[in-house]
Amino acid sequence: MYIRSSRRVHGMLKLYYGLNEEGKTVDQAESMNPCDINGTHFDPEVYLNKLRRECSLGELMDQESCMVKQIRSLDSDMQTLVYENYNKFISATDTIRKMKNDFKKMEDEMDCLSTNMAAITEFSAHISGTLQDQHAQITKLSGVHTLLRKLQFLFELPARLNKCLELQAYSQAVSSHRRARCVLQQYSHMPSFRGIQDDCHAIMDKLAQELRQKFRDGGSSAEDLSECVELLLQLDEPAEELCDKFLSHAQSRLEANLRGLEAETDILEFIDRGCNEFVSSLCLVIASYQELFVNRPQEGNLASKDIPHMAIGKLHAFVDALATCYFSLVERRIQEEKSVGDNSLLVRALDRFHRRLQAVAKLLPGSAVPSQGTEIVVRAARERIKQYLAALQSFYLDSLRDVRQALAAPRLGGSSAGELLSSLSASILNQIKSVLASVHLFTAKDITFSNKPYFKGEFCSQGVRESLVVNFIKFVCQSSRQFCESAGDRGGSTPPALLLLLSRLCLDYETSTITYILTLTDEQFLVQHHSPVTAVAALCGEARGAAQKLLNHYVKVQGLIISQMLRKSVETRDWVNTIEPRNVRAVMKRVVEDTTSIDVQVGLLYEEGVRKAHSSDSSKRTFSVYSGSRQQTRYAPSYAPSAPMDTNLLSNIHKLFSERIDIFSPVEFNKVSVLTGIIKISLKTFLECVRLRTFGRYGLQQIQVDCNYLQMYLWRFVSDENLVHFLLDEIVGSTAHRCLDPAPMEQSVIEVICERG
Amino acid sequence: MEDDAPVIYGLEFQARALTSQTAESDAIRFLVGTQSLKFDNQIHIIDFDDENNIISKSVLLHQAGEIWHISASPADKAVLSTCYNKTSESRVVTCGAVWSMPPEWESGSHESPDDPHNSHNPQNLELLCHLDNSAHGNASSVLWEPMGDGKRVISLADNHALLWDLTESSTQATISSSATLEGKGQLKFTSGKWSPHHNCTQLATANDTAIRGWDLRTMSQIYCIENAHGQLVRDLDFNPNKQYYLASCGDDCKVKFWDVRNINEPVKSLEEHSHWVWSVRYNHSHDQLVLTGSSDSRVILSNMVSISSEPFGHLVDDDDLSDGEDNHQDEKSKEPLQDSIISTYEEHEDSVYAVEWSSADPWLFASLSYDGRLVINRVPRALKYHILL
């Protein structure tokens, strides 16, 4: 029993201290075991029964002694524990007792505190009650103070503003005024405030006046100006008016620039100055203007919404107007640039001009100025082409004049005409080349405007190729043709040699030069033919036409000169009463001489040409003289030969008739054809003149002699000698017809006279 | 529509002078004067029967000398004038005279053209009067007053223009006034024309390269076209319907049309011939038709619509308009009128010195070449109908 109770006490203690003794697991495992002496469910009866049943006596004895030993040790342990805990308990009791006393004291103090607090609260409430009135008063006073300070500001405002005005601290003045403005506005019904307001207004008006004055003043810089504008805007100055003023101010300066330009003489300097002064200033004006009016932040009531819009509109108008002035100036200046010597200056000037305008384009997108500038450049280029054409033309005419003088100058030696031709044609070609080179500058890579579509396309094809080259070639042909027309009516004012030379020139153009020039142009300018251009063949045709016309005219003029001699010689003589012929008349010799010299002249420039085979005795032919009594049958030709002739000649004559001789007919480009034409004209004139006269016997004989002489010398020049035979036959025949006493001279006598010369 | 072939007539002698019988308005009749130094010269009166295409001729003798110019009186069929060469004592003088055909020539000496050598016993012309004034040199042409009564003629003699009054049935000629061309050198009228306009008070003459206009009332010069042609001016003719228009031709192979109110520039210039142009004639009724003859042996008929009095074609009467209006308008709109060469006649083999329209039939003309060949041609039918319709 004891054991059980001790165990119980042990367990309780253990519980109290919370100790976990060793063998705890065993305890739990065997806790249900009633034989476990340390277990909770230990049943001494069961244990004893078990021991008695199982153990022998010895063992029981041992068990008993072990048990007693264990009880003794347990007792001692318990005694120790009790002792220890007792001390602790004693001290705890002491402590509690002491605490009890302390609390009591504290309670008293707490009571005292609460009473004190109550007193304090009471006091505080009391004080508050007392101070309430004063506080309200102070607040009111402080408000009055502030108001008074404001009022003071207001009262001092006019003076301040005046002072600012004196010191020219405009911005300060404006900001001060801005602060006061609303108040003044609000209290303007009170007389005193009204006075201030009026004063302020007066001062501010003065200020605005001064600002405007400053604004108007030409001298102030752009920054000053912009400041002025800024302030004026803040002063509710109407923006539109300001824009106008700003612009007009700028305009006066820019116009001064423009005026300065007018004095400039050199084109490059002109453009330079224009760019540096006018265009830069313009850009500056545009920039500051945009800064001021267009790009400014929207400041509520200050800037109404359409200010930028309005301002931009004004700016455009302004820039356009000024640019128009400038452009007209530039254009006038460019037009003055007439000397065609050095094109590079002009091109460079135009390039600069064009380049600088791009700046305006960047500043002011949507402006027409750059495109107008480009147009000016285009126009200048066009104008230039025209000038070059004119220069080429005048060069050509000058060359012609030189050639004419050279031809007129009495010079011996046949090579002159050929040399003149080659030098003329070479100098023209050189001139064309140099002009092409000059014009080519417009399309150089480093020129800004060369990549404009105009300069890539139209300039090359329509401008250079058509207007310049083709027109020049046409001009050459045209002017050549004009030589034919003017000379025809005024009796050959153009020397025939020049006609001949030009004809050859045109022919050369037709065969080679035109093709060469046009190929050169196309290569240099990479002409792309967007629009139809004149074909080479058409130009060649024109040149050939001109050459033909010139040559025809040459034949006509030369024929006319000889005709005139023959005509005069026939018309002025009294053929009825002339003496028996002893000589060939001088005029015939002259005719032969002239024909020979023409032959030489033509031979220098044209090839020989084809002629029919000569009969060996050409110069020995006899002329048939119709017997006077010949009666014509009705349809028989009047020229029917009566003298014996070989049948070949007769058939030739018939052939001639079937072909019919055209006197002023086109000639071929060779010497023989030219000479044939001239001789034809001359002899036909001779024939017609003879038919208008009446002859005596010796008159007829003289004509016989003359014709024989012509026959002797002229046959060699013509393509078909039968032609000469025929015409001379006609002359003699007609003379015989017109003869009162047709007694022909013996052929032998004629020959003797002719050989005598 | 084949055009009729030309009709050709040959004279035995060389000839330069041709005129139509101005006073004859029914028969187609031309007068040709011959040039022969050895034989008696003749005046051939050529009658053309248009319907049968037959030529019949009569020959009258002109024994005074070779004929350089001939013109017929506008009033009396039987009266004509000639300029002829008279050779005496190895001097050659050109004279003018007015002649009358013998009254019975028509019945008496009518011959068949097929019998060329049957010119025996032709009758002589009867001399009415000489237009002679030895002081005034050689006559180059005699001009009758156009549409006049045959009482007034002008003769051009060297550098004088003489206005004659014919009295006593043209047997008496007296100089009523004269004009003289003065200047450097030996000036000589080559040809002239009496203007049918302005009440016949104007005369145009040619000398060398100049054309001059004269007022016959004062016998003073009105205008002068210097250098009208590059060379000698050969002939003139007035536009019968446009009073200021004048055609001229010359040795520069050109035919020029002038408005004498503006003498600096010709209105038009043609250069179709290949040698001197000797004669130019306006058609009497349709002045767009211009005939020229040249020593290149060609005759050219041109249609100068642009400067004619009918530049827009034949003006249609109101009566015609009422029924055929639409047709006409269509025609006009689709046929733009342009100056053109209508035809070139190449029947001649020698120089053609004279061309003349018939005074009876406006569609018919004659040309005469030096070898004595007279060719009668008609305006192509297509053109004729084009003009008429």
DSSP assignment of A69-82 equals HHHHHHHHHHHHHH
Is B67 contained in some domain?
yes
Quote the tokens at residue B337: 């009128």
The total domain count for chain B is: 1
Instruction: Reply yes or no on whether the pLDDT at A27 is more than 70.
Output: no
| B227: region left, alpha or beta (phi > 0 left; psi from -120 to 50 alpha) | left
Quote the tokens at residue B247: 């055609």
Q: Are residues A577 and B116, on separate chains, in Cβ contact within 8 Å?
A: no
DSSP assignment of A389-418 equals HHHHHHHHHHHHHHHHHHHHS---STHHHH
Separation between Cα atoms, residue B296 and residue B53, nearest integer Å: 27
Query: Tell me, what's the pLDDT at A638?
Result: 35
Query: Tell me, what's the pLDDT at A637?
Result: 34
Query: Tell me, what's the pLDDT at A72?
Result: 93
> Tokens 């009294």, residue?
A574
Q: Which domain holds residue B207?
A: 7-105+123-309+335-388
Instruction: Reply yes or no on whether the pLDDT at A629 is more than 70.
Output: no
Nearest CA in chain A to B13: A632
Instruction: Reply yes or no on whether the pLDDT at A113 is more than 90.
Output: yes
Q: Which of A9-18, A743-752, B206-215 has the lowest mean pLDDT?
A: A9-18
Where is pLDDT greater, at A237 or B297?
Answer: B297
Report the residue from B227, B274, B295 with minimal CB separation from A665: B274
Nearest CA in chain A to B296: A662
Helix axis angle, A239-262 to A222-234, nearest 10°? 160
Q: Are residues A638 and B231, on separate chains, in Cβ contact within 8 Å?
A: no
The residues that bridge with B144 in the sheet, in sequence order, are: B153
pLDDT band of residue A23 (cuts 50, 70, 90) is very low
Is B326 contained in some domain?
no
User: C-alpha distances in angstroms, B108 versus A449, B49, B105, B122, B123?
Assistant: 97, 19, 5, 9, 9
Nearest CA in chain B to A730: B350
Q: In terms of DSSP bridges, do strands B123-124 and B126-130 run parallel, antiparallel, or are they unpaired? A: unpaired
A696 touches chain B (CB under 8 A): yes
| B208: region left, alpha or beta (phi > 0 left; psi from -120 to 50 alpha) | left
Quote the tokens at residue A425: 């044609």
pLDDT tens for A41-96 read 788 888 888 888 888 888 888 988 998 999 999 999 999 999 889 989 999 999 99
Separation between Cα atoms, residue A8 and residue A607, nearest integer Å: 166
Are residues B349 and B369 in contact, defined by beta-carbon separation less than 8 angstroms?
A: yes
What HEC string does B176-215 produce? EEEEECCCCCCCCCCEEEECCCHHHCEEEEEECCEEEEEE
Quote the tokens at residue B281: 């004639």
Report the residue from B87, B231, B346 with minimal CB separation from A694: B87
A-interface mutation test, from B296, B299, B373, most A Cβ less than 10 A away = B296
Nearest CA in chain B to A736: B37
* CA-based nearest distance A632→chain B, Å: 6
The residues that bridge with B294 in the sheet, in sequence order, are: B277
Is B303 contained in some domain?
yes
B91 touches chain A (CB under 8 A): yes
Note down pLDDT in tens along chain B; length 389 residues: 456 778 888 888 889 999 988 887 888 889 999 888 888 888 888 888 888 888 888 888 888 888 999 998 888 888 889 888 887 777 788 888 888 888 766 644 444 444 444 445 678 888 888 887 666 778 888 888 888 788 888 888 888 888 888 887 778 888 888 888 887 777 888 899 999 888 888 999 998 888 999 998 888 889 998 888 888 899 999 999 888 899 999 888 889 999 988 888 888 888 888 888 999 999 988 888 999 999 888 899 998 888 887 766 555 444 444 444 444 444 444 455 678 888 888 888 888 999 999 988 888 999 999 888 899 998 888 888 888 87
Query: What is the torsion angle, in degrees rounded to the nearest 10, for the CA atoms of residue A563, residue A548, residue B267 and residue B160?
Result: 0
Residues of B in contact with A555 (CB under 8 A): none
Are residues A47 and A34 in contact, defined by beta-carbon separation less than 8 angstroms?
A: yes
Report the residue from A632, A637, A696 with minimal CB separation from B12: A632
Question: One-letter amino acid identity for A248?
Answer: S
Q: Are residues A638 and B370, on separate chains, in Cβ contact within 8 Å?
A: yes
User: C-alpha distances in angstroms, B203 versus A230, A455, B254, B259?
Assistant: 93, 64, 22, 15
Residues of B in contact with A737 (CB under 8 A): 14, 37
> Tokens 């019975």, residue?
B104
ipTM of predicted complex = 0.84
Q: Which residues contact A405 (CB under 8 A, 6 or more apart)?
A: none
Q: Which residues contact B311 (CB under 8 A, 6 or more apart)?
A: B305, B337
Are residues A247 and A213 in contact, defined by beta-carbon separation less than 8 angstroms?
A: no
Q: Give percent of chain A above pLDDT 90.
A: 8
Query: Tell me, what's the pLDDT at B2?
Result: 54
Residues of A in contact with B12 (CB under 8 A): 631-632, 634
Query: Tell me, what's the pLDDT at A117?
Result: 95
Instruction: Reply yes or no on whether the pLDDT at A153 is more than 60.
Output: yes
Nearest CA in chain B to A664: B274
The residues that bridge with B161 in the sheet, in sequence order, are: B156, B179
Quote the tokens at residue B354: 């004279």
Of B4, B70, B20, which Cα lies nearest the Cα of B360?
Answer: B20
Domain ranges across chain A: 63-167, 379-407+416-554, 573-608+655-756
Interface A-B, measured as beta-carbon pairs within 8 A, has a size of 66
The beta-carbon contacts of A195-198 under 8 Å, at least 24 apart in sequence, are A196/A154, A196/A155, A196/A157, A196/A158
Q: By three-state DSSP, how is residue B224 classified? A: strand
Is B114 contained in some domain?
no
* CA-based nearest distance A609→chain B, Å: 23
What's B89's domain CATH number?
Answer: 2.130.10.10
Q: In terms of DSSP bridges, do strands B123-124 and B54-62 run parallel, antiparallel, or are they unpaired? A: parallel
Separation between Cα atoms, residue B245 and residue B213, nearest integer Å: 12
Mean pLDDT of chain A: 76
Query: What is the torsion angle, in degrees rounded to the nearest 10, for the CA atoms of residue A522, residue A527, residue A530 and residue A532?
Result: -20
Is B318 contained in some domain?
no
CA angle A749, A750, A751 (to 5 degrees): 90
Is B271 contained in some domain?
yes
Model confidence, pTM: 0.68
The sign of the dihedral angle between the CA atoms of A740, A746, A752, A755 is positive
Separation between Cα atoms, residue A704 and residue A689, nearest integer Å: 15
- Helix boundaries (H) for B30-181: 105-108
A637 touches chain B (CB under 8 A): yes
Report the residue from A663, A691, A694 with minimal CB separation from B370: A691
The residues that bridge with B33 in the sheet, in sequence order, are: B17, B43
pLDDT tens for A371-404 read 777 888 888 888 888 888 888 888 888 888 888 7
Are residues A420 and A498 in contact, defined by beta-carbon separation less than 8 angstroms?
A: no
* CA-based nearest distance A631→chain B, Å: 7
Nearest CA in chain B to A694: B92
Characterize B221-241 residue by residue with b for buried, 16 or more Cβ atoms within 10 angstroms of its Cβ, and e for exposed.
eebebeebbbbbbbbbbbbbb
B230 touches chain A (CB under 8 A): yes
